[in-house]
C-alpha cells in the first residue's frame, strides 16, 4: 500500500447496493439488512434503548460459492447469520431468496425456505439432543417436513452418513458416543437432509482439533463441488475463511467495512481494520511470524450502544483523520467487486472507467 | 549446553524438568501408560509449547506438574522436578503451597478460573497474602500495580470490578495478573488465547512475552494453534497418545519435521496460496488410552508403517538433529522416509 492511497474522498456519496460480481447466480441476497436489540439501562432496567447489532448490511450468497464473513466478537456476524436463515426476524432492509422477499413468505413457500436454507452451528454437542441417536438427529428434519416415514429412518440415515463420510455403522450412537468430528458430521448431515441450496455455517470448525478441522473443511469443499451449495461461512479464523471462500466480507460493529474477492481481501486489504485484523492472524511459519509487524489497535471494540459518530472505527484507527469524526463513510469501489467503507479512498464511479485494476 | 539425549537436561536455570514420566489410570477400567516415557524441560525465560490433538495427554501432563491429577491417575514412574524440588512424591500440602507461588496457571476460559463473587483486586491480593504472608493493605496495593502491569486501564478503579464486568480479553489479563502475582518460576498456560479474538490473542501473547523478559519465568504453553507456536515458542514438544513423538527447537520443527505425525499435523494447516484445495488429513483417530497398539502408538495412522520395525517393541526417541529428537523407528534405523506429502 502506498501513500498515494491516503487521500480523502468527498463526503456524502450515496450508499451503493452491494452488487458483487459473482460467477454463480445469487441465491440469497441481503440488502441493507438491519437488526436492533433493546438494551435496558437505569434503575431496574426501566430505560430501554435500541442498539443496532446489524446495520444496513448488504451481501449475496451465490450458488456454488462461499462468502466468508469475518470479524471480532461483537461485530454482529452471528446475528447476521441468524437473520439470513430467518432464525431472527429482520427489522429493516430486505432478504431475497431466489427473488422472493423472505419476510413475505407464508405457508408452503416459507416451509420451502426453511428446507432450503440451513444452518450449521459451532458446537455440535450443544446443537444435538444427547438422548437421541445420530440416526434420529440426521433424519428428524425429514420426519418434521413429512419427507420420510419412521420406518425409513435407518436407511435414510445411513445414506446421509455416506454423504458426509461418516461410518454408517455409527448412526445408532448417541452424541456422547461420538468424537467431536463425528458429531459435526452428524450436524452437517442433518442440515443436508432437506437438500438445502444455502448453508450458513457459524464457526463450524472452531471447536475441533486441527486434524479434524481439515476433514470438515474438505467435506464442505466436496459438498459444494458436488451439489453446488451456496455457503456463508461465519468465522473469526481467517485461515479457514480464506481457504474456503470466494468472497470475503469483513464486519466491524454491525457494518461491513470491506468486501471483495477473497484473494484480494486476503492479500491486499484496504480498510485499516482489515489490515490490522490480518496482521494479528498468526502464520504457522516461525521465520515469517517472527518478522511480521503487527498493527496495534487502540482499545477494544466499543459496545454497540456507544457507537462513535462519523466512522465507527475511528477511535481505534491508526490512520484516523479529523474528517473521520464527521463523516460516516459509505462503501466505495476500490477495484472491480472490491469495496471499502473508509474515507481514505476517493469514491469514483468505477463501472465507468472499466478495465481499471 | 544443548543435549541430544531424550532425557531432561537439568542445569541451574532449569525451572521444570520432567523425566521419564509415566501416568497410569487405575480403577475398574485401568489404562496403563496414559502418559508414557515423557521427558522435557523448561528453562528460565524460555517458552516451551506442548502440542497435539485432544486426548494426547497434554492437559494430563499439565495437571501432573501442578499436582492436580484426578485421584484415579497415578504417577507410576519418572520424576517431575519443579524449581529444584521433586514434586511427584510431594505431599498435597506442599503441592498446594507451590501452586501460585512457584508455578502459576492460566486456563482457556477466564470466567471459570476467576471467582465470580470476589472483586478481581481481592483475588489477586489473596494470592500474595496467602503465599507471601503480605499484609492486606500492601497486597491490595500490589494488586493494583499488577493490573496496571498487565495493561488494564484505570487499574485502581478496575480492582473493585467483578469478573463479569470485564470483557473476555480483560478477564484473561486479570487472570494472568493473578497467576504471576507471586512471581512464579514457571507459568503453565493451557490454551490461554483459544477463546479470544485474534487481535486480543496477539495482545495477550505479547503481554506474556513481556512478563517473561521481566521476571525470567519459564512458560509451558499448551496449545493446538500452530500459528501461536510459530510466533512465541522457543522449543516444541509434540505429543501423540501420551508420548512425546518429537521435540525440537521451533524453527527446526517447522523447517524439518521428522516424525510422520508432526509432518501430518503441519501439513493440515490451510496454505494461503492454495485455496479451495482438499487438505491432507490424518486417517483414523487417536487410539483411546488402554487400547494402545504394541510398538509405535501412531502405527495405525502412519503412511510409512513397516511391519516388525514399528509393531513389535516400544519405540525409543532418537536424535535427528541438534536438540531434536524423534520417536520414530525409521529415524532410529536410518531408513529413508519417502514422503507423499
Chain segment A133-153, per-residue pLDDT in tens:
999 999 999 999 888 888 889
- Whether the CB of A72 is below 8 Å from some CB of chain B: the reply is yes
* Beta pairing class for B186-190 and B235-240: unpaired
* Beta pairing class for B73-82 and B14-25: antiparallel
- Whether the CB of A295 is below 8 Å from some CB of chain B: the reply is no
Scan for cell 485484523, then name that residue. Answer: A277
pLDDT band at B258 (very low <50, low <70, confident <90, very high): very high
Nearest CA in chain B to A279: B199
Cα-to-chain-centroid distance, residue B338: 31
Helix axes B198-215, A272-280, angle to 10 degrees: 50
Cβ B270–A239 below 8 Å, yes or no? Answer: yes
Q: Domain segments of chain A: what residues?
A: 3-340
Q: How far apart are alpha carbons A229 and A191 in whole angstroms?
A: 12
Nearest CA in chain B to A65: B276
- Please check whether residues B148 and B239 belong to one and the same domain: no
- Domain ends where: B183, B202, B229? B183
- Please check whether residues B313 and B294 belong to one and the same domain: yes
Residues of chain A with pLDDT under 70: 1-24, 40-47, 348-357
Name the helix (H) or strand (E) containing A273: helix A272-280
Scan for cell 438491519, then name that residue. Answer: A34
Residues of B in contact with A218 (CB under 8 A): 278-279, 281
- Whether the CB of A73 is below 8 Å from some CB of chain B: the reply is yes
* Neighbouring residues of A186: CB distance < 8 A, sequence distance ≥ 6: A124, A128, A134, A137, A138, A164, A166, A175, A178
Determine, yes or no, domain membership for B6: no
- Whether the CB of B26 is below 8 Å from some CB of chain A: the reply is no
Of B132, B136, B174, whose CA–CA distance to B155 is shortest?
B174
* Cβ contacts from A onto B, under 8 A: 112
Look at residue A356 in the predicted model and tell me its pLDDT.
40
Residues of A in contact with B285 (CB under 8 A): 179, 181
- Please check whether residues B43 and B76 belong to one and the same domain: yes
Q: Which of B201, B250, B270 sits opposite A240 (nearest CB)?
A: B270
- Please check whether residues B193 and B86 belong to one and the same domain: yes
Rounded to a whole number of angstroms, the distance from the CA of B84 to the nearest CA of chain A is: 31
Cβ A284–B278 below 8 Å, yes or no? Answer: no
pLDDT band at B336 (very low <50, low <70, confident <90, very high): low
Q: Which residue has the higher pLDDT, B39 or B289?
A: B39
- Please check whether residues B33 and B119 belong to one and the same domain: no
Determine, yes or no, domain membership for B51: yes
CA atoms lying within 13 Å on the CB side of residue B10: 14
Q: Rounded to a whole number, what is the distance in angstroms from the first to the last CA of chain A?
A: 14
Look at residue A17 in the predicted model and tell me its pLDDT.
34
- Report the CATH fold assignment for A3-340: Rossmann fold (3.40.50)
Look at residue B200 in the predicted model and tell me its pLDDT.
86
> Are B41 and B9 within 8 A, CB to CB?
yes
Residues of B in contact with A212 (CB under 8 A): 53
Rounded to a whole number of angstroms, the distance from the CA of B252 to the nearest CA of chain A is: 9
DSSP state of B14: E
Residues of B in contact with A297 (CB under 8 A): 199
Scan for cell 510409512, then name that residue. Answer: B304
Determine, yes or no, domain membership for B32: yes
Scan for cell 521444570, then name that residue. Answer: B16
Rounded to a whole number of angstroms, the distance from the CA of A334 to the nearest CA of chain B is: 22
- Please check whether residues B164 and B297 belong to one and the same domain: no
Cβ B268–A213 below 8 Å, yes or no? Answer: yes
- Domain ends where: B183, B207, B235? B183
A58-67, B22-31, B262-271 — most confident range:
A58-67
DSSP state of A82: H
* Beta pairing class for B186-190 and B218-222: parallel
- Whether the CB of B169 is below 8 Å from some CB of chain A: the reply is yes
Nearest CA in chain B to A238: B198
- Percent with pLDDT over 70 in chain B: 95
Cell triple for B132: 507471601
Cβ B198–A238 below 8 Å, yes or no? Answer: yes
Name the helix (H) or strand (E) containing A139: helix A134-144
CA atoms lying within 13 Å on the CB side of residue A179: 19
Look at residue A21 in the predicted model and tell me its pLDDT.
36
Nearest CA in chain B to A237: B198
pLDDT band at B335 (very low <50, low <70, confident <90, very high): low
Cβ B227–A238 below 8 Å, yes or no? Answer: no
Residues of A in contact with B201 (CB under 8 A): 280, 282
DSSP sequence for A245-261:
-SEEEEEETTEEEEEEE
Cell triple for A167: 461410518
- Please check whether residues B78 and B221 belong to one and the same domain: yes
Look at residue B290 in the predicted model and tell me its pLDDT.
78
Determine, yes or no, domain membership for B8: no
Of A161, A170, A154, A173, whose CA–CA distance to A219 is shortest?
A161
DSSP state of A173: S
- Please check whether residues B159 and B194 belong to one and the same domain: no
| Residue B66 belongs to domain with CATH number | 3.40.50.300
Look at residue A41 in the predicted model and tell me its pLDDT.
66
What's the domain range around B296?
14-102+184-271+278-333
- Please check whether residues B261 and B282 belong to one and the same domain: yes
- Domain ends where: B130, B156, B183? B183
Each as own residue / partner, the long-range contacts of residues A17-20 (CB below 8 Å, 24 or more positions apart, any chain) are A17/A58, A18/A58, A18/A59, A18/A60, A18/A256, A18/A259, A18/A331, A18/A339, A19/A60, A20/A59, A20/A60, A20/A62, A20/A247, A20/A259, A20/A260, A20/A337
DSSP-based three-state secondary structure for B49: strand
- Whether the CB of B202 is below 8 Å from some CB of chain A: the reply is yes
- Whether the CB of A209 is below 8 Å from some CB of chain B: the reply is yes
Q: How many domains does chain B have?
A: 2
Residues of A in contact with B168 (CB under 8 A): 73
Cβ A266–B265 below 8 Å, yes or no? Answer: no
**CB within 8 Å of chain A, chain B residues 41-70:** 53-54
Q: Which of B198, B268, B285 sits opposite A214 (nearest CB)?
A: B268
Q: Which of A72, A211, A286 sits opposite B230 (nearest CB)?
A: A286
Of B244, B240, B282, whose CA–CA distance to B264 is shortest?
B282
Cβ B231–A290 below 8 Å, yes or no? Answer: yes
* Beta pairing class for A198-202 and A92-97: unpaired
- Please check whether residues B123 and B247 belong to one and the same domain: no
Phi, psi at B249, each rounded to 5°: -60, 145
Determine, yes or no, domain membership for B144: yes
Q: How far apart are alpha carbons B143 and A83 in whole angstroms?
A: 44
- Whether the CB of B282 is below 8 Å from some CB of chain A: the reply is yes
Look at residue A43 in the predicted model and tell me its pLDDT.
65
Task: Please give the model's pTM, rounded to 2 decimal places.
Answer: 0.86
Q: Is the pLDDT of residue B97 over 60?
A: yes
Output the average pLDDT for chain B. Answer: 89
Look at residue B289 in the predicted model and tell me its pLDDT.
78
DSSP-based three-state secondary structure for A190: helix
> Are A139 and A160 within 8 A, CB to CB?
yes
- Please check whether residues B41 and B152 belong to one and the same domain: no
Determine, yes or no, domain membership for B340: no
Amino acid at each position: 500500500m502506498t501513500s498515494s492511497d491516503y487521500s480523502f474522498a468527498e463526503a456524502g456519496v450515496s450508499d451503493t447496493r452491494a452488487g458483487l460480481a459473482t460467477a454463480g447466480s445469487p441465491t440469497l441476497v441481503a440488502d441493507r439488512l438491519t437488526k436492533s436489540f433493546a438494551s435496558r439501562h437505569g434503575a431496574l432496567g426501566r430505560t430501554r434503548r435500541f442498539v443496532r447489532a446489524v446495520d444496513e448490511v448488504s451481501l449475496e450468497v451465490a450458488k456454488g460459492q462461499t462468502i466468508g464473513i469475518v470479524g471480532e466478537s461483537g461485530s454482529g456476524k452471528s446475528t447476521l447469520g441468524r437473520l439470513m436463515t430467518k432464525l431472527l426476524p429482520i427489522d429493516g432492509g430486505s432478504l431475497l431468496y431466489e427473488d422472493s422477499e423472505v419476510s413475505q413468505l407464508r405457508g408452503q413457500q416459507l416451509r420451502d425456505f426453511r428446507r432450503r436454507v440451513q444452518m450449521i452451528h459451532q458446537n455440535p454437542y450443544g446443537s444435538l439432543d444427547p438422548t437421541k441417536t445420530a440416526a434420529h438427529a440426521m433424519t428428524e428434519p425429514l420426519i418434521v417436513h413429512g419427507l420420510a416415514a419412521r420406518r425409513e429412518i435407518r436407511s435414510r440415515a445411513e445414506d446421509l452418513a455416506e454423504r458426509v463420510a461418516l461410518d454408517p455403522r455409527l448412526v445408532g450412537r448417541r452424541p456422547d458416543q461420538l468424537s467431536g468430528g463425528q458429531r459435526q458430521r452428524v450436524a452437517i448431515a442433518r442440515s443436508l437432509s432437506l437438500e438445502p441450496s444455502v448453508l450458513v455455517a457459524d464457526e463450524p470448525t472452531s471447536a475441533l482439533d486441527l486434524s479434524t478441522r481439515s476433514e470438515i473443511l474438505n467435506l464442505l469443499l466436496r459438498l459444494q463441488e458436488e451439489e453446488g451449495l451456496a455457503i456463508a461461512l461465519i468465522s473469526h479464523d481467517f485461515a479457514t475463511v480464506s481457504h474456503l471462500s470466494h468472497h470475503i466480507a469483513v464486519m466491524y460493529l454491525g457494518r461491513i467495512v470491506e468486501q471483495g474477492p477473497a484473494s484480494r481481501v486476503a492479500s491486499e486489504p484496504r480498510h485499516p481494520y482489515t489490515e490490522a485484523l490480518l496482521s494479528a492472524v498468526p502464520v504457522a511459519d516461525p521465520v515469517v511470524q517472527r518478522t511480521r509487524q503487527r498493527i496495534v489497535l487502540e482499545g477494544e471494540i466499543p459496545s454497540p450502544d456507544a457507537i462513535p459518530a462519523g466512522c465507527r472505527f475511528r477511535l481505534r484507527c491508526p490512520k484516523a483523520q479529523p474528517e473521520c469524526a464527521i463523516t460516516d463513510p459509505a462503501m466505495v469501489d476500490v477495484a472491480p467487486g472490491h469495496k471499502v467503507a473508509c474515507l481514505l479512498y476517493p469514491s469514483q464511479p468505477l463501472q465507468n472507467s472499466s478495465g481499471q485494476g | 549446553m544443548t543435549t541430544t539425549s531424550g532425557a531432561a537436561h537439568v542445569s541451574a536455570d532449569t525451572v521444570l524438568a520432567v523425566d521419564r514420566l509415566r501416568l497410569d489410570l487405575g480403577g475398574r477400567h485401568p489404562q496403563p501408560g496414559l502418559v508414557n516415557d515423557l521427558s522435557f524441560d523448561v528453562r528460565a525465560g524460555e517458552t516451551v509449547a506442548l502440542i497435539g490433538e485432544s486426548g494426547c495427554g497434554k492437559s494430563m501432563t499439565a495437571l501432573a506438574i501442578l499436582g492436580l491429577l484426578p485421584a484415579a491417575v497415578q504417577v507410576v514412574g519418572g520424576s517431575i522436578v519443579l524449581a529444584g524440588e521433586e514434586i511427584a512424591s510431594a505431599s498435597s500440602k506442599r503441592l498446594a503451597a507451590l501452586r501460585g507461588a512457584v508455578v502459576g496457571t492460566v486456563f482457556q476460559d477466564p470466567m471459570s478460573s476467576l471467582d465470580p463473587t470476589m472483586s478481581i483486586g481481592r483475588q489477586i491480593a489473596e494470592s500474595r497474602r496467602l503465599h507471601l504472608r503480605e499484609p492486606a493493605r500492601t497486597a491490595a496495593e500490589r494488586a493494583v500495580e499488577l493490573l496496571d502491569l498487565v495493561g488494564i486501564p484505570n487499574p485502581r478503579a478496575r480492582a473493585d470490578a467483578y469478573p463479569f464486568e470485564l470483557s473476555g480479553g480483560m478477564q484473561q489479563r486479570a487472570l494472568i495478573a493473578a497467576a504471576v502475582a507471586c512471581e512464579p518460576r514457571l507459568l503453565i498456560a493451557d490454551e490461554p488465547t483459544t477463546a479470544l479474538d485474534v487481535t486480543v490473542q496477539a495482545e495477550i501473547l505479547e503481554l506474556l512475552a513481556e512478563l517473561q523478559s521481566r521476571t525470567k519465568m519459564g512458560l509451558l504453553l499448551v496449545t493446538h494453534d500452530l500459528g501461536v507456536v510459530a510466533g512465541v515458542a522457543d522449543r516444541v514438544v509434540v505429543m501423540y497418545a501420551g508420548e512425546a513423538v518429537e521435540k525440537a527447537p521451533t524453527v527446526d520443527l517447522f523447517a524439518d519435521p521428522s516424525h510422520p505425525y508432526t509432518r501430518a499435523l503441519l501439513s493440515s494447516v490451510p496454505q494461503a496460496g492454495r485455496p479451495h484445495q482438499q487438505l491432507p488429513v490424518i486417517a483414523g483417530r487417536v487410539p483411546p488410552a488402554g487400547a494402545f497398539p504394541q510398538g509405535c502408538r501412531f502405527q495405525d495412522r502412519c503412511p510409512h508403517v513397516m511391519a516388525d520395525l514399528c509393531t513389535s517393541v516400544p519405540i525409543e526417541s532418537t536424535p535427528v538433529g541438534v536438540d531434536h529428537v524423534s520417536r520414530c523407528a525409521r529415524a532410529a534405523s536410518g531408513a529413508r522416509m519417502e514422503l507423499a506429502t
